[in-house]
Amino acid sequence: MKKLLLFAVGTIVLYLGFSFVKYYVSEAFDYHDRPWAYSRDKGTSLLVGKWGGTFTDPDGVKKSIQLEIFVPLTDADRVGKALKTGKRHQSYSSNTAFDGVASVTSQLGKEEYEINGGVDKEDNGKFHFKFYHAENTKRVLPNFSLNEARNGQWVADNLDFEAKFSFQNLDGSSLWKSSDPRFSKNVVVHMNRLTSVATK
């Protein structure tokens, strides 16, 4: 009985020790491979976090935008991953990928988006992402909705990107008119940091 108890205790200790190593190895790789998302220096500016700004859409409607970019893996997710328990974040195969959410408000109403994109492999200060209408949220129609963020750049507490739009009719169908310059107009969006930490 005593041997069985010692074996059980030893197994648990080995399991926890292995999980401990997995946790810190995972953390070390993230700090090295994703400097845009993690830093041991609390004063370092990161891409992850909350951002806010304003822009005018191709229809001349002034809008404000709030954007939140999530860390690829939170501490709680990392513990679950090490112990192989609990629901985890999306598992990224790329060190450049990220996701997040965005909300846009104007006189037309509030638009809710999910975003998915990545930083440039050679230059983490450059990024791109796509906007997707968040599930189970009311669409603002008719409207020039956000479709894509191109040529994004962030430096310290400033973030800029070129917004591409798509137009939806009142019934939700898409509309494109090559003869109307509004439908091919892109807008530069300037944003400032609101907070430095983001979690899902």
The mean pLDDT of 41-66, rounded to a whole number, is 94
pLDDT at 1: 64
User: 182-195: per-residue pLDDT in tens?
Assistant: 999 999 999 999 96
Model confidence band, residue 29 (pLDDT cutoffs 50, 70, 90) = low
pLDDT at 121: 86
| Beta strand residue intervals within the chain, DSSP E | 49-56, 62-69, 97-106, 109-119, 126-133, 143-155, 158-168, 174-175, 187-195
| Domain assignments of the chain as residue spans, ordered by start | 1-33, 44-195
User: 153-189: per-residue pLDDT in tens?
Assistant: 999 999 999 999 999 999 989 999 999 999 999 999 9
User: Residue 58 CA to chain centroid, in angstroms?
Assistant: 25
Instruction: Cite the DSSP H helix spans in 34-114.
Output: 75-83
User: 34-50: per-residue pLDDT in tens?
Assistant: 889 888 787 788 999 99
pLDDT at 103: 97
**10, pLDDT greater than 50:** no
Neighbours of 120 (CB within 10 A): 14
**94, pLDDT greater than 90:** no
Specify whether the CB–CB gap between 160 and 188 falls below 8 A.
yes
Q: Which CATH number fits domain 44-195: 2.40.128.120, 2.60.200.20, 3.40.190.10, 3.40.1710.10?
A: 2.40.128.120
